[in-house]
């Protein structure tokens, strides 16, 4: 049975779905990636085949593009139709108890619970992955790293090869081995330090943030370690947003979130990018927040997030 199932809306994310399926097929084997447009044979019952595939897969990826939430037919939003194939796929995935990962493409934002039918509300609480056009290759590599931890034994892991050195003399060989051992030790030490830093920030943090216009909000930060990657969410004006482009080096935590700001008759609004830089200290995480891209220019904010009580 395939290990991965890609759910997508053909008139919204078909191009992204094909591109991602090719990349995952290379990493895990084409036979372990299921996508309905290619894998359902002529004459097969669509619903029966999908249920059979969903029963056997290990992970579902739900691709969400800019029009995914609003796509309609005859004036009715398709997600509100109990017989909509995409809705049936996601509902079955959520009910299975297996990992369901939202994948945001084309600049899409993660939908909130109140924007989804009750049967799909659980999707809004799943940690999302962002695949951007500009950083597609790196974003996909990070997704593959996460999936390898969820799909043990499927696909071939990349192996590193080393160029062989000609042995000119016994002394030269000993020098090379000593250098390699030192570099390996330092690399292992750095990796252990990064992992320890990641474990230190894992969990739930809260901060009282006063914004430039005077409003105060109790913002919540949640960090989760999946393999070697840091995932999570951060609220902005109490709205839960997915964190992206996370880095954790030498006690410094950096990531971004995105929201949308509307003004007047602009129904779509502008995407606002929020850049967080945090220093991990014994007292908490000292954050500096810089926001840009919207209609207003706001000065940087500084605040301290403290670990929430269990």
Residue 83 lies in a domain: yes
Give the DSSP letter of residue 112.
Answer: P
Residue 31 lies in a domain: yes
Q: Apex CA 103: angle with CA 58 and CA 263, to 5°? A: 155
Residue 187 lies in a domain: no
Q: Which residue has the tokens 């002529």?
A: 42
The contacts of residue 149 (CB under 8 Å, 6+ apart) are 226, 227
Q: How far apart are CA 170 and CA 175, in angstroms?
A: 9
Q: Say which CATH number the domain at 99 has.
A: 3.40.50.10140
Residue 190 lies in a domain: no
Q: What is the pLDDT of residue 187?
A: 60
Closest CA to 54 of 36, 37, 71, 70: 36
| Same domain, yes or no: 206 and 142 | no
Q: How far apart are CA 271 and CA 258, in angstroms?
A: 7
Q: Locate all alpha helices (DSSP H) within the chain, ordered by sequence.
A: 10-28, 36-39, 46-56, 85-96, 136-150, 170-201
Q: Say which CATH number the domain at 247 has.
A: 2.40.128
CB 54 within 8 A of CB 3: no
| Same domain, yes or no: 125 and 243 | no
* Residue 119 pLDDT exceeds 70: yes
> Residue 144 sits in which domain range?
4-150
pTM for this prediction? 0.57
Q: What domain count does the chain have? A: 2
Each residue's pLDDT tens digit, 73-97? 888 898 999 888 889 889 988 988 8
Q: How far apart are CA 22 and CA 29, in angstroms?
A: 9
Q: What is the pLDDT of residue 130?
A: 94
Residue 258 lies in a domain: yes
Q: Which residue has the tokens 């320890």?
A: 196
pLDDT band at 131 (very low <50, low <70, confident <90, very high): very high
Q: What is the pLDDT of residue 1?
A: 52
């Amino acid at each position: 049975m395939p290990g991965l199932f890609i759910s997508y809306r053909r008139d919204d994310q078909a191009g992204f779905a094909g591109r991602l399926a090719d990349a995952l097929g290379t990493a895990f084997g084409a036979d372990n990636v299921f996508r309905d447009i290619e894998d359902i044979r002529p004459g097969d019952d669509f619903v029966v085949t999908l249920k059979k595939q969903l029963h056997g897969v290990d992970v579902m990826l739900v691709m969400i593009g800019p029009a995914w939430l609003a796509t309609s037919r005859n004036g009715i939003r398709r997600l509100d139709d109990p017989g909509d194939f995409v809705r049936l796929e996601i509902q079955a995935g959520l009910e299975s108890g297996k990992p369901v990962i939202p994948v945001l493409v084309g600049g899409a934002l993660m939908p909130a619970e109140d924007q989804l039918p009750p049967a799909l509300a659980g999707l809004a609480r799943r940690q999302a992955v962002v695949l951007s056009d500009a950083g597609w290759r790196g974003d996909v590599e990070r997704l593959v790293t996460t999936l390898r931890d969820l799909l043990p034994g499927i696909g071939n892991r990349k192996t590193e090869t080393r160029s062989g050195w000609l042995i000119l003399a016994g002394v030269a060989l000993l020098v090379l081995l000593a250098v390699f051992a030192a570099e390996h030790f330092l690399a292992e030490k750095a990796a252990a330090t990064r992992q320890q830093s990641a474990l230190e920030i894992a969990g739930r943090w809260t901060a009282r943030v006063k914004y430039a216009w005077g409003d105060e909000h109790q913002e919540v930060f949640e960090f989760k370690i999946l393999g070697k990657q840091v995932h999570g969410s951060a609220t902005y004006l109490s709205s839960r947003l997915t964190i992206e482009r996370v880095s954790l080096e030498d006690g410094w935590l950096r990531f971004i979130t995105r929201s949308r700001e509307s003004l007047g008759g602009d129904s779509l609004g502008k995407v606002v990018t929020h850049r967080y830089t945090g220093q991990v200290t014994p007292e908490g995480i000292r954050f500096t927040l810089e926001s840009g891209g919207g209609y207003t220019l706001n000065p940087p904010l500084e605040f301290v997030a403290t670990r929430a009580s269990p």
